Amino acid sequence: MTLAGKTVVVTGASAGIGAATARMLAEDGAKLLLVARRQDRLDALAQEIGNDAHVLALDLSEPDAANRMLDHATGVFGKVDILINNAGILRTSHFADFDLGQLEAMIAVNYSAVVRSSILFARAMKANGSGQIINVSSIGAGITGAGTGIYCGLKAALERFSEVLRIELAGSGVRVGLVAPGTTSTEIFEDMKSKGEAGWDEFIPAMQPEDVARAIRFMCDQTGNSNTARVHIYATSETF
């Protein structure tokens, strides 16, 4: 029970990997702030997991979202031990058909929001002398395929940022890590399916959110001088 009493902020907590992670960490005794846009989903999850879970309905694409999240978390907990940046959106299309109206939202949620919250929480954690930041990326960061340039490009940028942040915080007591899942059956593929396309989770036996949550929990369990800085987790049928 290394997480007993630890304070944890999870973004994208209303469904999928975020919700599975919240449940798993709550079972280990963590105190949680659940962050996502959908208030009703957050309230239901908080009631389910108990353990004094708190919720914050927030649109992470807004420029001040990271500040609001940090202020709320410190107001509730005093300090934050672990930040899990899990929220993300997926839009895929060949360049000829891509809706450029979706570009800014993808940049904001998948990259800018993570960078802002990582930096702000890192500063607070460093001042406290300890903490951990876990950014959820994707194996897509290393994939070059038609229709994936924007999503995978943003994940690649996130990985580079996270690695540099880890180096900059080395020796400060603040750990930085990255979890890169393969194909996981979540709501992230709903946009594809709503357009009559097959979701990536329909091509192979995909992982479930709990599979990725276990990897995140493993990273949270590191103590002392150890820092598991990168975990790639693939579906067993994945060939990337």
Rounded distance, CA 46 to CA 34, Å? 8
Cβ pair 181, 207 in contact under 8 A: yes
Q: Spot the catalytic one: 121, 151, 161, 200.
A: 151
Say whether 151 is catalytic: yes
Q: How distant, in Å, are the alpha carbons of 188, 190, 191, 202, 207 from that of 194?
A: 11, 6, 5, 14, 21
Rounded distance, CA 177 to CA 199, Å? 28
137: which strand partners?
none
Phi, psi of 50 (to 5 degrees): 60, -140
Rounded distance, CA 202 to CA 217, Å? 27
Alpha carbons within 13 A on the beta-carbon side of 31: 13
Rounded distance, CA 235 to CA 237, Å? 5
Rounded distance, CA 71 to CA 89, Å? 25
**Which residues are tagged catalytic?**
151
